[in-house]
Structures are given as C-alpha cells and as structure tokens.
C-alpha cells in the first residue's frame, strides 16, 4: 500500500511517446486546426496548454494535491475470493476508485479543472453528465473552490438515477434534464424529437452553448479530451508503483470505455511502457456496450463531439454525432465518440476493444459482489466482465496471467438498474449495423 507522500506529483502525458502527432482538432466553421484563441472562449488557458502540450510530465499544483489527498492514493486490491470462485490460476488485481467523495474516478479531473477555472476568475461551470458520476464530481469540485455549476444530465439517466441528481444538489449544483428548453440546441432537439431519451452529444451541445453565451461561465468536460485523460493518469501511475512494490507487472490492463477517461487513466502509463519498448506485450483492453459500440463498430474519422456541431471536429472512432443510443443502464458509456488518443492507440493496434450486452455485464457484477463484496456501477461492470472472461481463459490454458482492471466507481446510486436486472427487465440491444451506417453517412466532410 502506498502512503500519502507517495502519491504521484506529476501527470503522465502519453502524447510525448506517440510515434507521430495526433491529427489536430479542426474548427467547426473553417475546418482549419483550432488555435488557443479559438478555445479560450470556454476553457482556461492552462487547460488549453495541457491539451496541446508535448511534455511527458506535467506538475500537479499543490492546491490540487491537497484535495486529491482526501482519497489518494486509492487502494489496489487482489481479488482472491473472485479468483477462488473462478478457479483460475490468474492473479486479478483491481484499482478501487470508488473511495472518492463522489464515488468514482471522476474527481481526479474535476478538481484540477475547477481549480484552473477559479484561478482565471471564472464564476460558473457548465457541463453535461450521462449516468451522473461526472456531474457529481464537478458539483463536488465547484463546492470546494466556490464556483457555481449548471449540469445538463441525459434525460434517461436523470429518470433512472435520481439520487445522482440529489447528490449534485447537496453540493450546490443545478441539475437539468437534457434536452431542455433552456438552450437553442435543446429546444431544436425537442421540436424534432419530443420523446428523445437524450444523449451525451445533446447534453454537450447544451453545456457548450451555455458556456459560450455567458461571460462568467466556462465549459468543463469529464472525458474524451487530452487534458482529461492526462489528469486521470494518477490511477495508472499509482497502480504501476503499487504492483512494483510486490514485484508484479500486469499482462493485461482493462477499463470500461464511454468517452475514454477511466480507461486512459489506468492504461496510459502502461501504454507508455509499450510504446517505448519497456513492456511491449502488455494487453490493453477497452470494454464498451454492444448497444453503443464506438470502438468496435465505429469509423475512425473526423466528427463533432456534440449533436449540434458546436465543438471542434475530432479525429476519433465515432458512430456519428447524431447517433442516439438506446437507454441502457450504463448511461456513462452512451457516447457516440471516444478520446482521440484512445482512438488512435486502438487504430494503431496498441490497444484493443471488446463489447458486451448489459445482461452479461450485470451477471459479472453479481459474481464480483458475491465474492469481493463491492457493488459496482453498471459502467464498471463491463471491466469486471472482461477481467472474468480473461481469467476463465487462463483456467482453460493454465496460464498464470496477472490481470489488472480499473474498478472505476460504486453502484450505490444505481440500484434501480440492479432491480431491473433481477426483475428480468434488461434488454440486450445491439444497435443495427444499418442504422450505424446511416449515421456515419452524415459525418462532416473534411478535405
């Protein structure tokens, strides 16, 4: 176990170790690479610098470290009871991020993001949230630094997960179901699709519009962007040191993937080892739902990060910016795109992706809860499923692999999802290839 003084004091920037630079984000109006001036309308300059930084390591401010010390370093556990249930020769380790006040990995980036905004005199943050983990984390961070927060929560999750909304309100944030009538983009969607369950792409449009039209307000994103993935690398950096202290190194590193932040957080330090030739064989596995199969069925292309086309164009795996996935309980994984860095690493074969139906990931979550005792979030259960499958493969082959996965958050506010599982009400929906092709046909044209 690491002590407080051994917590990482720098973030790791995997961009420094890519063989070639990422394709640049493009301005939605001109199609030209975005500049810092383009982004400063909604982001503080320090985050813009981090977004584009070539530096391998970036110092974590002491004020941010003071907050992270409330729960970091987070524990790394060996799942011995799960190993026994599975009768596997593999060793399974999980990084437990549910110990944060918000109950997930998300405060690792909400705290620095709000800190940098506070330093530039911003008074309010607008953002979106899917299942509510990010909204809870942002509400927590704005409370700490004295800012206000307006959070647009995907409507289906707003209904399914009412206690996440309550959590945000306890910390002083305003939580609005999206699409809403408060923004032009929300009203446009409601006029076209009055019964829509909403999507992260729609909620992002509302939050970006809110921030861009109020001088005292900036926008904050909980996943996808480079600086968000950067902040999350405290997870993987801690894991590597914790395993090194017992002379272990993982054969496989696993995380669920919606926008990519928690998978990036645990995997990027190991991806750096792979890219630099230190550990070329480590298997990095991102896990997504079959109902929103961005990495496994999407196209690696430029697309908007939101439905209304207000964000820069990003080169990423995408299902099309107007793709609206069905209302599954893993709401945090219902996003049409993914982190450009994660997408690039999957495209280049450094990482790989798998997809599962929601009933089988809840089976895995139940197995985990009945062995290790922790009830995980529906999103996290995807990583649990992949770890179990790999451990069962080891049982067949006799391999003694070391498996590491990010246990990214607890499911204490997701019990309605477990109720639906036990009532046999979960539908295993696999998005039709035809509809994906139709959505991809409407991608923006980039010269």
Domain architecture of the chain: domains with CATH = 64-103+227-440 (3.40.50.1100)
Q: For the residues 343-349, what does the mean pLDDT come to?
A: 97
Q: How confident is the model at residue 159 (pLDDT cuts 50, 70, 90)?
A: confident
Q: How confident is the model at residue 209 (pLDDT cuts 50, 70, 90)?
A: very high
Mean pLDDT of the chain: 93
Other residues' Cβ atoms within 10 Å of the Cβ of residue 59 = 11
Whole-number Å distance between alpha carbons of 371 and 211: 45
Gyration radius from the chain CA atoms:
20
pLDDT at 130: 84
CA 162, 129, 417, 253: dihedral to nearest 10 degrees? -150
* 6-17 confidence digits (pLDDT tens): 799 999 999 999
pLDDT at 326: 67
pLDDT at 331: 56
* 296-328 confidence digits (pLDDT tens): 999 999 999 888 788 899 999 999 988 877 666
Whole-number Å distance between alpha carbons of 293 and 218: 30
pLDDT at 307: 80
Q: For the residues 338-351, what does the mean pLDDT come to?
A: 97
Whole-number Å distance between alpha carbons of 394 and 181: 52
């Amino acid at each position: 176990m690491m002590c407080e003084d051994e917590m990482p004091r720098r973030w790791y920037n995997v961009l420094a170790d890519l063989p070639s630079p990422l394709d640049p984000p493009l301005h939605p109006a001109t199609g030209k690479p975005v500049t810092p001036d383009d982004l400063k309308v909604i982001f503080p300059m320090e985050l813009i610098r981090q977004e584009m930084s070539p530096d391998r390591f970036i110092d974590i401010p002491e004020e941010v470290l003071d907050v992270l010390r409330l729960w970091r370093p987070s524990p790394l556990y060996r799942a011995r009871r799960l190993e026994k249930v599975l009768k596997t020769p593999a060793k399974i380790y999980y990084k437990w991020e549910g110990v944060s006040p918000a109950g997930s990995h998300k405060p690792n980036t909400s705290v620095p993001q709000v800190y940098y905004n506070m330093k530039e005199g911003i008074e309010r943050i607008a953002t979106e949230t899917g299942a509510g983990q990010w909204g809870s984390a942002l509400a927590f961070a704005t409370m700490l630094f004295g800012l206000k927060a307006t959070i647009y929560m995907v409507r289906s999750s707003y209904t399914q997960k009412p206690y996440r909304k309550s959590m945000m309100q306890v910390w002083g944030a305003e939580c609005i179901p999206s699409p809403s009538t408060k923004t032009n983009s929300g009203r446009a969607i409601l006029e076209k699709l009055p019964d829509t369950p909403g999507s992260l792409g729609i909620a992002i449009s509302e939050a970006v519009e809110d921030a861009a039209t109020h001088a005292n307000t900036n926008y904050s994103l909980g996943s996808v962007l480079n600086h968000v993935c950067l902040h999350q690398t405290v997870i993987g950096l801690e894991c590597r040191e914790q395993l090194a202290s017992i002379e272990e190194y993982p054969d496989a590193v696993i995380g669920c993937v919606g926008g990519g932040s928690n998978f990036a957080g645990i995997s990027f330090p190991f991806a750096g080892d792979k890219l630099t030739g230190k550990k070329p064989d480590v298997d990095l596995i991102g896990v997504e739902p079959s109902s929103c199969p961005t990495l496994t069925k999407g196209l690696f292309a430029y697309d908007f990060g939101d439905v209304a086309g207000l964000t820069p164009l990003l080169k990423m795996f995408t299902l099309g910016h107007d793709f609206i996935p069905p209302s599954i309980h893993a709401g945090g994984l219902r996003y049409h795109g993914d982190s450009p860095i994660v997408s690039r690493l999957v495209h280049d074969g450094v990482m790989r992706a798998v997809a599962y139906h929601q009933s089988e990931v809840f089976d895995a979550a139940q197995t985990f809860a009945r062995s290790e005792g922790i009830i995980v979030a529906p999103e996290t259960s995807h990583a649990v499923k992949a770890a179990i499958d790999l451990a069962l493969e080891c049982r067949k082959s006799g391999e003694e692999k070391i498996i590491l996965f990010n246990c990214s958050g607890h499911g204490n506010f997701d019990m309605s999802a477990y109720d639906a599982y036990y009532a046999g009400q979960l539908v295993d929906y696999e998005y039709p290839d035809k509809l994906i092709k139709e959505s991809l046909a409407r991608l923006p044209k980039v010269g």
